[in-house]
Amino acid sequence: MSIAIEQLIDAAVRQRLIDAEILAHLRTEARRKRVDLLDAVTAHYRLPVSAFYRAVAELRGLPFVDPTGTTPPPDLLKKIPQALLRRKAILPLSENTEGILLAVADPDDRATIDSIQRLLGRNVRLAVADPNTLNAMISRSLAATSQGQAATAVSQAAEVDLVALLNDVLKEAFLRRASDVHIVQEEFGLRVRLRVDGALQDYNLNTDGNNTVANGLISRIKVLSNLDIAEQREPQDGGMSYYLPPPIDSEFNIRVATAPTRLGERVTMRILGQEAQNLTLEKLGMSADDLVMFRQAIRKPFGMILLTGPTGSGKSTTLFAALQEINSPDLNIMTVENPIEYVMEGVSQIQTGPKISFAGALRSLLRHDPDVLMVGEIRDEETADVALKAAMTGHLVFSTLHTNTAAGTVARLIDIGCEPFLIGSTMNAVIAQRLVRRLCPHCRLERTATEEERHLLCVTEKKVNVYEPKGCAYCQGTGYRGRLGLFETLWFDEELSKLVSRNCTEEELVSCAGSRLRSMWNDGCTKVLSGATTLAEIQTVAIKRD
């Protein structure tokens, strides 16, 4: 049993998770389209069902628990009939002097709770849990305490609908705004994890999760991605387009990679370009001054703009937002990418492959009279040389490069084999970028910064306030909702260009840049003081330099 839909929605309204006026519209739409109201609400707000159960828990003053990774005491499980645990979605999690912590999907089912209390012979304390997660943990806990359960799980594996199972995984990934889905075979069976805001979260499937189900699900993904299902000993790469039916009604591209492991194959799915239609430069998190300079740089008629940073730092997203800003009918914009992460209207996009390289595609595009070129990544001397010469011959070129700092980009290009005079005469801007989690605006807590924190934040005031995460239904208990960029910006002028052309060192470049260079740490400190993120977050990606 679980909480009634109207109770879940009412709790979400009262906890400011959803808006009452929008709910009235969604109620009408759900009736017209004949879809479940809760499905319509979760699809509109992109919130998982677990967020609504957490809202109920908050409203009633009960703890919300995620039983994933918890091992219930076997002696407690043996006191309760297995059929009762499964039918009522109830699981004893732990025992202490205050009583037994009981995870329930419906805290109003007093008859069942009283029965469990009599069976256990002790006082119980209630905690609310998402029923899907709870049912998965019940199956796993019972399988661990019963030898016969494992055999039953194997016999049931053939009955699992793999099409629906994959749809459930990708639906949950969409609702949680995940960037990646990790499907791994482990000793207990199938494990699914979603990367949300840069951190991995477990997603418990409501199946017995044995290896037969894992193999079937992985084969299903490989078929959709045009991969060889018979090949299980070598890594494979592929991709697919996946459509989630109404009420979500969304289609997105997925990059798929498989790899053999000790216990079987694993699959990683990267969900591409979900936020493409709503992405703007303002949403990236650049400071007002940097945003003005960036807009000036991307509107220059020629030159090069480089985004640097490790994989997954948001470089492609920033480039796409810049191209969206300048995209107009009077500009011929062309790109070379691998893969194409965002589909851009009015832009000619080429994906590299076995028969076409970045450098080869770039040379070809130069014969198509482009105004703006975007190269997905500079990986070698040939690509760098063609890109720099294109910037010198009257084209505006965007690209990415793997370096740790903005100033280190020049040394990296020279190390690849580029001539200093080419770099100096073409470079407009270099931006090093990282991503940090954004504090949830609904539950963040304000407090006075400690002396050490004031020193790290480079502030001299005696009293400075900072914020820290708490956790609520809106952010699904993490204390963070979404991500924002931290930027280290280097804006080139004539003086810096001449300096680079003379093959200066990185130290000389930093010394002469002055206000043209803004460090990532300073950018992060500004965002901590504004309440956008935490000091702990910026310490994971930036280093304070004295």
Mean pLDDT of the chain: 90
- pLDDT tops 50 at residue 157: no
H-type alpha helices, 393-485: 408-416, 420-426, 451-456
500-520: pLDDT as tens digits: 999 998 899 999 998 899 999
Q: For residue 257, give every residue at least 6 positions away whose Cβ sits within 8 Å of its Cβ, in sequence order, or none.
A: 235, 236, 237, 238, 267, 268, 270
pTM value is 0.87
Q: What is the DSSP string of 108-176?
A: T-HHHHHHHHHHHTS-EEEEE--HHHHHHHHHHHHHHH-HHHHHHHHHHHTTS-HHHHHHHHHHHHHHT
Contact 535, 528 (CB under 8 A): yes
State the CB neighbour count (10 A cutoff) for residue 152.
14
Query: 321-357: per-residue pLDDT in tens?
Result: 999 999 999 999 999 998 888 888 889 999 988 888 8
Q: What is the DSSP letter of 379?
A: -
* 531 token code pair: 């309440």
Write the pLDDT tens digit of every residue in 462-475. Answer: 889 999 999 999 99
> How far is the C-alpha of 189 from the C-alpha of 160, rounded, in Å?
14
Average pLDDT of the residues in 346-369: 90
pLDDT at 155: 43
pLDDT classification of 73: cutoffs 50, 70, 90: confident
pLDDT of residue 282: 85
Q: Is residue 528 within 8 Å of 538, Cβ to Cβ?
A: yes
Other residues' Cβ atoms within 10 Å of the Cβ of residue 20: 8
Q: How would residue 210 be classed by pLDDT, with cut points 50, 70 and 90?
A: low
Tell me the per-residue pLDDT of 61-71, one tens digit each, with 9 for 90 and over.
Answer: 999 998 887 88
User: Does the pLDDT of residue 158 top 60, yes or no?
Assistant: no
**334, β-bridge pairs:** 348, 373
Three-class SS state of 512: helix
Report how far residue 156's alpha carbon sits from residue 206's, in angstroms, rounded to the nearest whole number. 13
Characterize 124-142 residue by residue with b for buried, 16 or more Cβ atoms within 10 angstroms of its Cβ, and e for exposed. beebbbbbbbbbbbbbbbb
> What sign results for the dihedral spanned by CA atoms 56, 62, 67, 69?
positive
> Which residues, other chains included, contact 96 with Cβ-Cβ below 8 Å and sequence gap of 6+?
none
Phi/psi of residue 161, each to 5°?
A: -85, 105
Average pLDDT estimate for 199-219: 82
DSSP assignment letter at 278: G
Mean pLDDT computed over 215-239: 93
Does residue 20 contact residue 13 with C-beta atoms inside 8 Å? yes
Give the range among 17-26, 64-73, 110-119 with minimum mean pLDDT.
64-73
